[in-house]
Structure 1
Amino acid sequence: MNYIKYLLIGTLFGFVLTKAEVISWFRIQEMFRFQDFHMYGVIGTAIIVGMISIQIIKRFNLKDTEGNPISIPPKDASQKKRYIIGGTLFGFGWALTGACPGPLFALLGSGITIFIIPILAALAGTYAYGVFRESLPH
């Protein structure tokens, strides 16, 4: 029964992404060609909402749904290289597929069945990470 709320939230998330045209390959192409502000506005708004949310969590010592305190550990500046490499790989994947991981299911749900391939690849990559996690540098 708990999973119903996640299904509803995910459905709402997909609906919002679709209506905001964030899943549009054309919008993503415009962004990577610096032809339109639409996607930059959406991403910028998400960053601002995230920053405000983190400050609220820290300031009011908010707890998660199970009552545990939410802790946000500081980033280690010496790990900057891994963030740059990871972000670059993420950007290449986004540019090549025309979608970031968030809207993959919304794209599939809107009838663009080719996106089953990036979904399967994402699942395979997640599984591989789980298998090799202990032997990877962190």
Structure 2
Amino acid sequence: MDCKDRNCGGVAALSSLLAGLVFGLGLIAAGMTDPMKVRAFLDLAGAWDPSLALVMGAAIAVGLPATLIARRRGRSWSGAPIEWPPSNAIDARLIGGGVLFGIGWGLAGLCPGPALVALGSGGSEAAIFVAAMLGGMALHALLDRPR
């Protein structure tokens, strides 16, 4: 039975809401919405804080098996098909995007997920970051559109 044959929209929306809440609460509990904690992780020559590495390790420990199971299933729990990227090639665009992401993360001490959580709690640094992120997304959409 396909997702079109039954009402998957409500289940998918509820699943997304619950996953987002768990993700956001996890970021808050781990202190990842605090830009100073992220900067302390990146400060290898100073007062290095390794706790972010532990958070990343825990995320990989949960995410890797879940991804392997999802790849075998091909459908989400709601029945909707899972869409995987069409390519897994490592090219200049991917490397360039990773470098830009890393530079922004290092300068701001935030990345998109924690920034949105921090924005929800009224962080002014997060508001600036999210505005810049949305501007960058708009610029990318403008430059990357088919000619």
Give the TM-score, by structure 1 length: 0.77
Q: Which residue is equivalent to 1:95? A: 106
- The answer for unaligned runs of 5 or more in structure 1 is none
Mapped partners of 2:126, 2:84: distance in 1: 35
Q: 2:43 aligns with which of 22, 33, 38?
A: 33
- What percentage of residue pairs aligned between the two structures are identical? 30
Alpha-carbon deviation of 1:106? 1.5
C-alpha RMSD over aligned residues:
2.7
Cα 1:69/1:101, change in 2 over 3 Å: closer
Say if 1:14 and 1:103, in contact at 8 Å, map to a contact too. Answer: yes
SS of the residue aligned with 2:112? coil
1:31-70 alpha-carbon deviations (Å, 9 max, x no partner): 10131220011112222322212211223x2303353254
Cα 1:63/1:15, change in 2 over 3 Å: same
Q: Which residue is equivalent to 2:135? A: 124
SS of the residue aligned with 1:55? helix
Number of residues of Structure 1 aligned to a counterpart in Structure 2: 133
- The answer for unaligned runs of 5 or more in structure 2 is 1-8
Q: Which residue is equivalent to 1:19? A: 29
Q: Which residue is equivalent to 2:3? A: none
Greater mean deviation of Cα atoms: 66-75 or 92-101 = 66-75
Alpha-carbon deviation of 1:101? 0.8
Q: Which residue is equivalent to 2:63? A: 50
Higher RCO (Cα < 8 Å, 6 or more apart): 2
Mapped partners of 2:101, 2:56: distance in 1: 15
Mapped partners of 1:9, 1:55: distance in 2: 18
1:96-132 alpha-carbon deviations (Å, 9 max, x no partner): 1110111112212223223211111111222222233
Mapped partners of 1:95, 1:71: distance in 2: 29
